[in-house]
A and B are shown apart, each in its own frame.
Chain A
Amino acid sequence: MAFDYDKYIRPGKLPHIWCPGCGHGIVMKGLIRAIDTCGLEKNNTAIVSGIGCASRLPGYLDFCTLHTAHGRAAAFATGVKMAKPEMNVILVGGDGDGTAIGGNHFIHACRRNIDMTYIIMNNNIYGMTGGQFSPCTPTGAKASTTPYGNPDPAFDIAKLAIGAGATFVARGTAYHATQIDKLITEAIQHKGFSVVEILDDCPTTYGRRNKFKSVIEMMNRLKDVAVPVKAAEKMTAEQLQGKILTGVLYKEERPNYTDEYAKVIARAK
């Protein structure tokens, strides 16, 4: 049966603003299915974003939503969670929003292990502002600000999150649509700070500059580059050259921030 997305979308908001073939729409659908699976209530769920094309996502969803300042989704979301620990808090945004201007908020949310879920749509570029390079633009790739090729190495968002203390870290792609909601569902159900990176495509500002002839070529790249963690165990270093691992990459149980803070409040009384 066709899935009823309309139930979760604010009336009259579609069609959305994203370009033809932009993967953000595929991620939004995955998030909606995950929310449905987890049975999250609209009035008890906050969806928080910063600024960017990806960060436009909460505007479409019929939940408690916050569209904040560039890079500050984690800061605002932390405020929501501290004020209302019983609320489900989901953050969404792009690689630029989350790892450049918002990098500091991101790592500290990981460190504190606040019980929230962060979905980062990594399209390797600042889409909204016309294709400037981000900390996730691959070395050598072209952006409007690196017309001769990007000299910088890119962040590995998953490794960054694990290193900073996130207790659930997963990665999927916009091509592997069925996997998106499974990863997000598991992330939402995890108690602690969970990060789901979705490798995404921006045909408009990244694809064109980097010799992708079409959306389909970008999708095929996502299909080819992804290797599930289980499959990777049986592969040699040579076979894994240039590949990116997908699936649940890391999981641990550790005290979460709101529970620990409640103890501080109790001690202070």
Chain B
Amino acid sequence: MEKKLPTIEIIEKYCKGCHICVEFCPTKVLEMKGFVASVKNLEACIKCMQCELRCPDFAIKVSA
């Protein structure tokens, strides 16, 4: 069966580019693209929600 991928939404106008989500994602799903976070490798996401919980700026939403 094919694995259902989560949706990761990054609200660019809220993102302040702090790197927290990128650095602490356990499976390196995210990267910085210029000053904002972006999704690099969605397949690797384990839906742990740590990026959403730690983003100080309400800029990242993960939906399983």
Residues of A within 8 A of B (CB): 1-3, 5, 9, 14-16, 18-26, 29, 174-175, 177-178, 214-216, 219
Contact = CB atoms under 8 A, between A and B. Distances in A.
Contacts of B14: 14-15
A20 B17 contact: yes
A2 B58 CA distance: 11
B20 interface: yes
A216 B61 CA distance: 20
Contact of A2 (B20, B23, B50, B61): B61
Interface of B: 9, 13-14, 16-20, 23-24, 50, 52-58, 61-64
Contacts of A16: 57-58
A24 B57 CA distance: 9
A106 to B, nearest CB: 25
A24 B20 CA distance: 14
A interface secondary structure, majority: loop
B59 to A, nearest CB: 8
A63 B58 CA distance: 18
Contacts of A19: 16
A1 B64 contact: yes
B53 A25 contact: no
A16 B9 CA distance: 19
A177 B18 contact: no
Contacts of A175: 54
A200 to B, nearest CB: 10
Contacts of B24: 219
B8 to A, nearest CB: 9
